[in-house]
Structure 1
């Protein structure tokens, strides 16, 4: 199919979501709320209310092409485990790009901020890619390839980037179960790095809504956008705000680098986090004003987002 064959009005008529982690599920929920029935592609054929499950390995170009069918928009939310990023992530993205190239679907890739590397200013989308970590280098390379595919006319693509995210269903995150899990029970939230460093966090429903908005706006393609993200506050202030939402005393324990390295000896997730500690030792602030100004979508107020997250953790724990 020739790119541009479909009109703008039907861009979200037949959406496909790749991956069913917290981000994929949230994107699928946002699409269902708009009255569509997205196809959700996973290796296990995960079933989500209101969606069409499809079993495929997105690293396989033929399987991905079949999974996309006549998709009008594709949301790339799938990723390999941290320790497999250098080996597996490029193949996944190339497979997805080739499939979108074949059928003309708009491709929105969900990314993070690793590619920028350490910076001392609020991050904007025009910052150069200067990664200092292995996973940051992968992210920067993936974006360079995606941008080249768009600029060469192979695909219509954009990226939506988020900081460390939180929300219902988010467990494997710096602000996931190690943070909210103990806190909602009156225990101590675990924080990395300096408790007094500011750190912006992105609410997953805001990220999902941003991805959908970008997909349906042709003028938004060909670039990266920062999802609406609340102004960065210190991790100490974040603990206090989350504790208020949970109705418990604020308490935390700061995980030391040597402790993370020790756990990393037998836990790949902890081992892969070590190189990202710069995000938590110093201020890590996101500027999402470009997206907010264009689309009129501010981040969900932090107190409300935290309350909704706490409620989910309480229910999950029960």
Structure 2
């Protein structure tokens, strides 16, 4: 058990940061959050009520240190919006969190990804697999973990990293489900498939990821100074299970499946950072990537797991593709 139940969540307005913050609060934690304009965020979002907002910027170490005084957990879920300026912003923001952890003695919780890994680690990836990324974003992720590991080795911070597959869920933006498979705010009249049939893919439902993280945080006595865990999430063993779930939820077993237009990303990448980042991740759709969660099961006993159809339905409602779980009427021309 942690020495107190005070947490600072950086990135509480984002998908995973918001989910973790709400679950911590529901379990009796006092949750602090940091934002450049906290009054506007707190007033405009009912999901953000009940938090103690601090005005500040994750790029300024002194402001993060001040917000983190007296906490036992710092959730580092802050990212530049829309994949912009990753190279300039991500590592300085992490250094701010490290400074705050040194001052407060808090454990750092980092939501991890599969981007750390290259094809040499596939198809079955566990916590000890080699990290040889093939993308710029992956290289930054590896450097983030290197800095965290080094700080833990020096006794300056305790670290918990939970890696999972492609996020989907309510509030999850800039992901393959919402940017690739369907179109937010529109009825589902077709599904776009980024990968070919027969290639397994790892998905992670955002509320399950947040619940897993919080359960691990509350088992402090079972954690090492530097702890890493993988989630199994929703394993789509042949690349068709997610498509089938969308068809079932929408009630359209005949929904057309289209190939993802990778060629379009190549044309638009110089002008749109999101497209450039999505294009770099193509290798994750060309070979099976399966996360091994044996270490997680050894600590928790079971992994939090929402049934796929329920997770897909909640996600589509959150994206505005379903209304109350019922398919929206199709427009006159398909999208």
TM-score by length of 2: 0.85
More displaced 10-residue stretch of structure 1: 25-34 or 247-256: 247-256
User: Equivalent residue of 1:127, what SS?
Assistant: coil
The answer to whether the Cα contact below 8 Å between 2:167 and 2:205 also exists between their aligned partners in 1 is yes
The answer to whether the Cα contact below 8 Å between 2:232 and 2:291 also exists between their aligned partners in 1 is no
Give 1:38's aligned residue: 31
Among residues 227, 246, 259, which one is paired with 2:264 in the alignment?
A: 259
Q: Distance in 2 between matches of 1:263 and 1:170?
A: 23
Q: Distance in 2 between matches of 1:279 and 1:207?
A: 20
Among residues 226, 231, 234, which one is paired with 2:230 in the alignment?
A: 226
Equivalences for residues 68-79 of structure 1 within 5 A = 68-79=68-79
Equivalences for residues 121-140 of structure 1 within 5 A = 121-140=123-142
The answer to whether the Cα contact below 8 Å between 1:107 and 1:215 also exists between their aligned partners in 2 is no
Give 2:332's aligned residue: none
Give 1:300's aligned residue: 306
Give 1:51's aligned residue: 51
Matched, 1:60 2:60: yes
Matched, 1:143 2:145: yes
Report the Cα offset of residue 191 of structure 1: 2.8
Report the Cα offset of residue 91 of structure 1: 0.8
The answer to whether the Cα contact below 8 Å between 1:108 and 1:214 also exists between their aligned partners in 2 is no
Among residues 198, 201, 204, which one is paired with 1:199 in the alignment?
A: 201
Identify unmatched segments of 5+ residues in structure 2.
Answer: 43-47, 329-335
Identify unmatched segments of 5+ residues in structure 1.
Answer: 1-7
Q: Distance in 2 between matches of 1:43 and 1:239?
A: 39
Report the Cα offset of residue 182 of structure 1: 6.1
The answer to whether the Cα contact below 8 Å between 2:181 and 2:194 also exists between their aligned partners in 1 is no
Q: Distance in 1 between matches of 2:243 and 2:186?
A: 11
Give 1:212's aligned residue: 214
* CA distances 1:54-87 after superposition (whole Å, capped 9, x unpaired): 2211111101111212112111100124242222
Q: 1:205 to 1:242 in 2, by over 3 A?
A: same
* CA distances 1:113-148 after superposition (whole Å, capped 9, x unpaired): 111112332211110111111111111111111011
More displaced 10-residue stretch of structure 1: 111-120 or 232-241: 232-241
More displaced 10-residue stretch of structure 1: 235-244 or 95-104: 235-244
- For the aligned residue pairs, the C-alpha RMSD in angstroms reads 2.2
Report the Cα offset of residue 103 of structure 1: 1.1
The answer to whether the Cα contact below 8 Å between 1:195 and 1:254 also exists between their aligned partners in 2 is no
Give 2:88's aligned residue: 87
The answer to whether the Cα contact below 8 Å between 1:183 and 1:243 also exists between their aligned partners in 2 is no
User: Equivalent residue of 1:231, what SS?
Assistant: strand
